[in-house]
Amino acid sequence: MIPAPFDYVAPTTVDEAVRALSEAGEDAKLIAGGQSLLPVLRLRMAAPTTLIDIGRIAELRGVRDDGDAVVIGAMTTHHEVLRDPLIADHAELLAKATATVADPQVRHRGTFGGSLAHADPAGDLLAPALALDAEMVVRGMDGSRTLAATEFFSDFFTTAMRPDEILVEIRVPKHTGWRAHYEKFNRVAQAWSIVAVAATVRTEAGDIAEARIALTNMASVPVRARAVEEALVGQPATAEAIRAAAERAAEGTSPTTDSNADAEYRQHLARVLTGRALTTAVTG
């Protein structure tokens, strides 16, 4: 199917993009890598009056060190995130999760910020961002503001950004020395997660000192498995302790029932995958 007609704008600075977005109104859409938006346009599930292409804005690309955080430009591709040494050293969980996104072609075109702004609850990068306490820096006509991951994702395919705001960069606190793993269950025919678990832990002298676990596709937004985190801290990094903690993974979740799985099966998957993710993270 052919998309509905739209006006096309290609700004070269963030300020130009914000101004274009404000002038075009609520029926405008931003396009970054296009890997999520283009299929929707072709199916006419979205029909924006104006398409604002931010692919030419150089200031939105790249990864940099900013003291206690790694800063990722919103237009940085999945491939660039996956290969960046700062990510490997200080946010291993992001690298592990990014490696599971779709296929090499999509990873070369799709963008880190685009995935987060799309806010698909089955997307693989929302839960890692939540687990790592990432912050999203957005800019609109009134200037910039910073949103914690806990408030950025507000519902299915919905964020807390205002209509005239653009996601500019993502600040990820350094988790240097933390072990991490992303465990995913999906249909062979496609890479979207039925359920997935993002886990990162810090150990000291054989015990789990800190743990961050977030779940993909267990609610309308990514959710932290707080009960698992609390059960792990102070426990020996053993299979028994991990197994006991993982049994609490589904607490506080509200998974949907669809053609891929019902809610009860998703809760079962959350417990199983949490155990696997933690075991792999701890054992390296």
Angle at 158 between CA 249 and CA 38, to 5 degrees: 110
Domain 58-173 top-level CATH class: alpha beta
Give which of 33, 119, 15 is closest to 74, Cα–Cα.
33
Q: Quick one: 193-283 is in which CATH superfamily? A: CO dehydrogenase flavoprotein, C-terminal domain (3.30.390.50)
Burial class (CB in 10 A: 0-12, 13-18, 19+), 96: buried
Coil/strand/helix, residue 208: strand
Residue 58 has a pLDDT of: 97
Residue 189 has a pLDDT of: 66
Per DSSP, what are the bridge partners of residue 14? Answer: none
Give which of 170, 182, 178, 35 is closest to 97, Cα–Cα.
182
Nearest-angstrom CA–CA distance, 9 and 268: 46
The amino acid at 133: D
Query: Which residues of the chain are under the pLDDT cut of 70?
Result: 189
Give which of 31, 123, 50 is closest to 40, Cα–Cα.
31
Give which of 217, 220, 77 is closest to 153, Cα–Cα.
220
- Where do the domains of the chain lie? 7-53, 58-173, 193-283
| CATH entry, 7-53, from 3.30.460.10, 3.30.43.10, 3.30.360.10, 3.30.565.10 | 3.30.43.10
- Which pLDDT tens digit goes with each residue over 177-222? 999 999 999 988 678 999 999 999 999 999 999 999 999 999 999 9
